[in-house]
Amino acid sequence: MKFGYFWIETHRNRPGVVRLVVSTESPDPAPAVHADRRIRYIAHFNDREAALMHVHEFLKRRLLDPDRHLYRVPVERAIAAAESVVLKHRRIYIDPDFNDEDHASMAALSERFRQSGRRKDLLFRTLGYIGIGLLLFNLLFLSFP
């Protein structure tokens, strides 16, 4: 596990595209407020690489550049994906330009991502129990004459 920071940034020349970044040092969002690059969200994760992997899992169908971690997705959706990661994390910064409607949208998307994860977890647990049941059935009834 590598402690570190995960942040989401946008670029003025690429509307609708976000970049996911991980680092050991926290970025300073203040100087970039009116620059071309703008940091929109920062969180501290106990495992920054796993956090990047989990957020990628939510956004993978919108991946543009795997080397630079660019995704064509609204920034609100990317932040909701980061907030819904089940790893221990602490939000450090969120862009103050988001209004109440944006915050509500992010909360709703985040809850939707969490519910989706719980449904997948339930599905795989159920399949695991069915597999164990089939193995026991095979062992007890079909293996001995």
With b for 16 or more beta-carbon neighbours within 10 A and e for fewer, the 32-43 pattern comes to eeeeeebbbbbb
49-93: pLDDT as tens digits: 999 999 999 999 999 989 999 999 999 999 999 999 988 899 999
Span 11-27, average pLDDT: 90
Q: Which of 51, 49, 59, 41 is nearest to 87 (CA)?
A: 51
Question: Poorest-confidence range of 6-10, 90-94, 104-108, 141-145?
Answer: 141-145
| pLDDT grade for 97, boundaries at 50, 70 and 90 | confident
| pLDDT value at 16 more than 80 | yes
Tell me whether residue 132 is in a domain: no
What distance in Å separates the CA atoms of residue 116 and residue 121, rounded to the nearest whole number? 9
| Residue range of the domain that includes 78 | 4-114
Tell me whether residue 128 is in a domain: no
* The CA-based dihedral angle spanning residues 91, 106, 57, 38, taken in that order and rounded to the nearest 10 degrees: -60
The token pair at 112 is 């939707």
Tell me whether residue 141 is in a domain: no
pTM value is: 0.83
Tell me whether residue 123 is in a domain: no
First to last CA, the chain: 51
Tell me whether residue 104 is in a domain: yes
| pLDDT value at 33 more than 70 | no
Tell me whether residue 135 is in a domain: no
Tell me whether residue 139 is in a domain: no
| pLDDT grade for 34, boundaries at 50, 70 and 90 | low
Tell me whether residue 78 is in a domain: yes
On whether the CB atoms of residues 40 and 79 are closer than 8 A, the answer is: yes
Domain total for the chain? Answer: 1
Q: What is the mean pLDDT of the chain?
A: 90
What pLDDT sits at residue 12? 85
